Amino acid sequence: MEEELISKKDLLIETDISYGQLYRWKRKNIIPEEWFIKKASFTGQETYFPREKILERIQKIKDLKDNLSLDELAEQFSLKPTALRLHRDKLLEKNIVTDTVLDIYESLFEKIEMYDFSAMLKVFIFNIILKTGKISVEEASRIITNYNILHEANNEKLFKILYLRKYGIGTCLFGVLPCEFYPEQEAKIVLNIDIPDMIEELKIKINE
- Tens of pLDDT along 52-67? 999 999 999 999 888 8
The set of residues, in sequence order, having a beta carbon less than 8 Å from that of 60 and lying 6+ positions away, is 200, 204
DSSP states of 99-166: HHHHHHHHHHS---SEE-HHHHHHHHHHHHHHHTSSS-HHHHHHHHHHHHHHHHH-TT--EEEEEEEE
Q: From 113, 79, 108, 107, select the one nearest 203 (Cα to Cα).
A: 79
Given pLDDT bands bounded at 50, 70 and 90, which one contains residue 75?
Answer: confident
The residue-averaged pLDDT of 28-55 equals 88
- CATH fold of the domain at 5-77: Multidrug-efflux Transporter Regulator; Chain: A; Domain 2 (1.10.1660)
Q: From 190, 198, 172, 187, select the one nearest 134 (Cα to Cα).
A: 190
Amino acid 29 reads: N
- Tens of pLDDT along 157-185? 889 999 999 999 999 999 988 888 888 88
Domain ranges of the chain: 5-77, 86-207
pTM beyond 0.75: yes
